Structure formats: C-alpha cells, structure tokens
Amino acid sequence: MSDVLTRSAARNIFYGGSLFFFILFAGLTAHTHWYMVTTSTDSEALTDSVKRGKHVWEENSCINCHSILGEGAYFAPELGNVWTRYGGRENAETARAGLKGWIRAQPLNVPGRRVMPKFDLDEEELDALIDFLQWTDSIDTQDWPPTPAG
Amino acid sequence: MKYETQRVAYPFFAVAMALFALQVVFGIMAATVYVMPEFLAEAMPFHIMRMSHTNLLVVWLLMGFMGCTYYLMPEEAEQEIHSPMIAYIQLAIFAVAGAGALLSYQLGIHEGREFLEQPLWSKILITISFLMFLYNTSMTLLKGRKTAINLVLMLGLWLAAVFWLFAFFNPSNLAVDKLYWWWVVHLWVEGVWELIMASLLAYLLIKMTGVDREVIEKWLYVIIGLALFSGLLGTGHHYYWIGAPGYWQPLSSIFSTLEVLPFFAMVMFAFFMFWKGRRNHPNKSAMLWTLGSATLAFFGAGVWGFMHTLSFINYYTHGTQVTAAHGHLAFFGAYVMMVLAVITYAMPQLRRAQPYNQVTNMWSFWLMTSAMCFMTFTLTFAGVVQTHLQRVMGMNYMEVQDQLQLFYFMRLGAGVVVAIAAVTFFISIFGPVKEQAPATAEA
C-alpha cells in the first residue's frame, strides 16, 4: 500500500468512516432504546417495587457472583430466568415463597459447596427483589437462554 | 530521555505496578474459592474479591496509560509537559479514588453494576483526575508538534473520558441499563482503548525499529480505522439476548467478526516493521513485549473473540466460562502487555541506565505469557464442557460446575505462575541494575 494510499488519505478515511459508523450506531441505539421501552420489556409492569428491587440487586452486588441475561461473574447460577425455573409462570405464590426461603436459608453450610452469603433483607426488600427478577424474566430475549438451566 | 518532564511517568508506573500486584493477589484468592469454596467465605465473600480483581485491573491500566502518555508526549510533541505539578496532583487524586474504592469494597460499600462498582465520590474523583490529565497532556500537545501518534493517543483518551460519562447513567429498566452500560464497557475495550493501544504500539515501533514515521503512521490510521469501523457496530454482539431487536444478530455477527481485522493488522504491522527495521535496538526485552502484545492481542481479542461472537454460537456460549477465557487473554494481550512493553522500554531512560536486567525481564515475559495462555486454555475447555452440559443437555448449573473442578484447579495453578512472573517483572524493572546491555548492541 506504499503509493496507493497516502498517510493523509488514510487519516481522512479514518475520520470520515468512524463518524459515519458512529452516527449509524447511535441511530440504531436510539431505535433499540425505543424498541426496549415499547416492545421487548413491559414498561407498565415496571413498578416502584421493581425499581426498588433493582436497587436491592445492585446494593448487594448480586452480579459479582450471579449473571443476569448472561452478564455477570458466572460463579453462581443465571437469574434472568430464575422466575421460570422456580415455576413462577405457573404458580407465582409458590415461586415467591421458594425464592424467599432459599435466600433466607443462606449460608447453607453444605461442605464443598459454594457459599452464598447471608444478606440481611427485610420482607419488603425481598419482595422488591423478587418483583425485579419476575419482571426481568418477562423481557423478550430472543428465546435466550436455550434451556431453563440458564 | 530527552525531556526532563518525562520523569513524571515514573511514579505513574510505580503505582500502576503496585495495583497490578494487588490485582493478581485478588485473582488468586478468587481462583482459590473455585477449588476451596469455603475459603474466606465469611471474611471476604467471592463478590468482593471479584470486584476488587476487575476494578484493580481497570484502574492500573488507566494509570499505566497515563504514565505512557506522559512519557511519550514530550518526545512526540517536542515539548516539556505543560505542568508536572498537575500531573502529580492528578496522580494523587486518582490513587486516592482507586485505593478508596478498593477499601470501601472490603467494608461492603459499593455500587452495583459490574465493573462500575466505585462509590459515587470515587467516580467523581476519577473524572476530575482524568480531566486534569487530559488538560495537562492536551496543553502539551497544543503547544508542540502534532504527529499521528500523539493525536490518535489523545483522541483515544478523550473519547474514553466521554464514554465514561455513561457510568453515571443508570436507568431503572434493566434492558435499557444494559444497552448503555456497554457504551462504557464495549466502547472502551473494543473501541477507543484500541486507539490507545495502537498508538503506543506505533510509538514503540518507531523508536525501536527505526522505520520511517510516514510508513508507521499510515499503518496506524489503517489499524484504528479498521478498529472503529468494525468495533462500533460490533457492540451489538452484546445486544443479542438483552431485549434488543433481532437485527443485531446478523448485523453484529458480521461486524464483530471484522473486529479480528485490526488485531490481525497489528500483528502483521509489528512483525513487518520488526523485520524491515534496520536498527538493532539494545532493549531486546521491550521488543519482545511489543511483539508479544501484538501477537496475544490477536489471539486473545481477535481469535478468542471470534470464537463465540457469531449469534448462533453465542446463543449457547453466552455467559459461560468461554467468556471468562476470552476476557482474560484479551485484556492481557492487548492492554497489560502493551503497558508492560512501554514500561520495559521507558525504565532504562527514566533510571538513566543502559537497558538492564534483560534476561530476568524475558523470563517474566515467557512465564507470564505461557501461564496466561494455559489459564485461557483451561477456561476454554471448561467453557466448552459447560456449554454442552448446561446449554445443550439442560443440566443444572451447580451440577455442571462440579464437572469443571479439574479445570479450576489448573486455572489456579496458572494464576500462581502469573504471580511468580509478575514478581520477576517487578524485580527486573525496579530492582538493582545488574546486567548491562549485550556488548553487540549499538545505542
């Protein structure tokens, strides 16, 4: 590429091309934002409790062991579809009770098993967290994950 | 060292290396938990170790980039650093922000998004420090000579600061949160950081091979063009399964496949310039790190990234140990090795010595590189087994993890070797100057 392409031509292609692709990317991001708010997530079901639940999720850094929609630490199970895994789509009450019981039972003290710490969550925080997980389960994720195992 | 203020880089490198050491320690602790689950379970739960490990990496790399910039800017701009005092102050602020965040994690104080766990005050201090850094280096650039290398480097750093601002934006809709979270995470490591890496690579090649600036700077623009043309739309390989529209699957399968190209161009570029170069530079170990960085970036970021970037493959591998394998080798090859290359190149000048302790330094190169490769292989095998058992067979997560124990043991072993290699590196860089350059070398 000795004479075909000069340094200033390469520079101009870089700046022009990058700007072009950035504008395209920003446009698609804006469309995706709109699609998420109107189509793939349930904006009406995004209640104060779900928002509070997301806050509980963040305050306790659940993502640094678990993953959610496949993103996180991969050290503990995927929770994006935990509501489905606990049968919440069939029987919401049982799933809610099951999840609460599981979180409260920690640490399990089973020798050789990874330890989930005890988190001091009150009833309201637990409900909010589970509302958040239930809401997350309803996101249209293009059929991911492939199996309920997450 | 032609300019007195290049010395500013020294404390940046020293602090960066101290944090690098801590990062490896937290990594080994977390790897230990994988094989001994009760290890420190009460005193320091896994999530604290993990956020410490990842945050330290990002913070020390940023400090390393700053040090590299302060080192090369005077030579490229032919101008002393605008204000060494500002440099020292912003280093102190950055160190306080980083160390403060690390300490607060141990007390359970943190925010909750992955990699962005720094408490708000720490994020603000980081922003202030980074803006001071940008002001200081941009003023130096404005007063001095503009080359492709210092322009691209500054562009990369400025854009990193711009995209960092998305760290302050946390929407309550999880899907939208993830959409913009990647504007920090992906647009940094698969976007603007590549500008920083490529310009550091170009700088080292100009200095050590003696090839014409005109040729090297043309390559530089081609490489960063490939990086952004592919990497911007390539962001969508993170949008497949988070509630985004289906068009990201074909679109970003194509563009993120093209993300291999800039890394392929970099490895070609590095070796081509190395063979073409007439100059027999005495700092052999810096050349080794430079070529090694280009090579491992190609494998770690390029090949290992491509391995699971196609949407119909990623559907099965997303969020398994395959991702962990790719993450480790990509960061190591592209960014860790590049900063270590600049440090290895710069330290003899900063200490006013001929290249020294080169054999020790090369030992650390081969130890660290092979250990990181081995770690990547073990995690890759773990990821493939996990993908099959969990994503194809539908086996329960915890049962699958039990099947991966052997790989986690080997990963811990690899981590210990990395620690030994890191200590070897510190000794070769900061230890007493023992060996002079080989007698055959010309200055």
Please give the pLDDT value at position A94. Answer: 97
Task: Quote the DSSP letter at residue B310.
Answer: S
Question: What does the pLDDT look like over B228-243, one tens digit per residue?
Answer: 999 999 999 999 999 9
B278 has pLDDT over 80: no
Domain boundaries in chain A?
1-40, 42-150
Mean pLDDT over residues B14-36, rounded? Answer: 98
B265 has pLDDT over 80: yes
Assess B106–A contact: CB distance below 8 Å, yes or no: no
> In this structure, which long-range contacts are made by residues A31-36, counting pairs with CB atoms below 8 Å and at least 24 apart in sequence?
A31/B245, A32/B179, A32/B239, A32/B244, A32/B245, A32/B248, A33/B176, A33/B179, A35/B244, A35/B245, A36/B173, A36/B175, A36/B176, A36/B179, A36/B243, A36/B244
Distances (CA, A) of B391 to A76, B232, B420: 15, 29, 36
Give the C-alpha separation, A78 to B214, whole Å: 51
Please give the pLDDT value at position B438. Answer: 55
Q: Hey, CA dihedral for B364, B368, B370, B371, is it positive or negative? A: positive
Give the C-alpha separation, B149 to B239, whole Å: 33
Question: What does the pLDDT look like over B395-417, one tens digit per residue?
Answer: 999 999 999 999 999 999 999 99
B199 has pLDDT over 50: yes
Question: What does the pLDDT look like over B331-351, one tens digit per residue?
Answer: 999 999 999 999 999 999 999
CA A92 to chain centre: 20
ipTM of predicted complex = 0.96
Interface test with B, best of A4, A6, A28, A83 (most B CBs within 10 A): A28
Please give the pLDDT value at position B203. Answer: 98
Give the C-alpha separation, A57 to A43, whole Å: 19
| B177 domain residue, yes or no | no
pLDDT band at residue A2 under the 50/70/90 scheme:
low
Given an 8 Å threshold on Cβ–Cβ distance, is A14 in contact with B221? Answer: yes
Give the C-alpha separation, A114 to B33, whole Å: 8
Please give the pLDDT value at position B280. Answer: 84
Instruction: Write the residue in B47, B175, B238 that is nearest to A139 by C-beta.
Output: B175
The nearest alpha carbon in chain B to A142 belongs to: B241
Lowest mean pLDDT among B222-226, B228-232, B435-439: B435-439
Given an 8 Å threshold on Cβ–Cβ distance, is B392 in contact with A58? Answer: no
Q: How many Cβ atoms from other residues are within 10 Å of residue B214's Cβ?
A: 11
Please give the pLDDT value at position B434. Answer: 83
B279 has pLDDT over 80: no
Residue B98 contacts by C-beta under 8 Å, 6 or more apart in sequence? B19, B55, B56, B59, B63, B122, B126
Question: What does the pLDDT look like over A49-104, one tens digit per residue?
Answer: 999 999 999 999 999 999 999 999 999 999 999 999 999 999 999 999 999 999 99
Question: What does the pLDDT look like over A104-146, one tens digit per residue?
Answer: 999 998 999 999 999 999 999 999 999 999 999 999 999 999 9
Type of residue found at B245: P
Mean pLDDT over residues B116-128, rounded? Answer: 97
Its pTM stands at 0.96
B437 has pLDDT over 80: no
Q: Kindly state the percentage of chain B with pLDDT values over 90.
A: 96
Please give the pLDDT value at position B442. Answer: 46
Give the C-alpha separation, B192 to B204, whole Å: 19
B284 has pLDDT over 60: yes
Residue B184 contacts by C-beta under 8 Å, 6 or more apart in sequence? B115, B116, B163, B164, B166, B167
Give me chain B's average pLDDT, please. Answer: 96
Mean pLDDT over residues A5-19, rounded? Answer: 95
Give the C-alpha separation, B69 to B141, whole Å: 11
Mean pLDDT over residues B291-303, rounded? Answer: 98
The nearest alpha carbon in chain A to B320 belongs to: A74
Structural domain harbouring B137: 1-146
| B140 domain residue, yes or no | yes
Assess B443–A contact: CB distance below 8 Å, yes or no: no
Q: How many Cβ atoms from other residues are within 10 Å of residue A12's Cβ?
A: 13
Given an 8 Å threshold on Cβ–Cβ distance, is A33 in contact with B179? Answer: yes
Mean pLDDT over residues B139-150, rounded? Answer: 97
Q: How many domains does chain B have?
A: 1
CATH of region A42-150: 1.10.760.10
pLDDT band at residue B1 under the 50/70/90 scheme:
confident
Q: How many Cβ atoms from other residues are within 10 Å of residue A78's Cβ?
A: 25
| B36 domain residue, yes or no | yes
Q: What are phi and psi of B424, to 5 degrees?
A: -60, -40
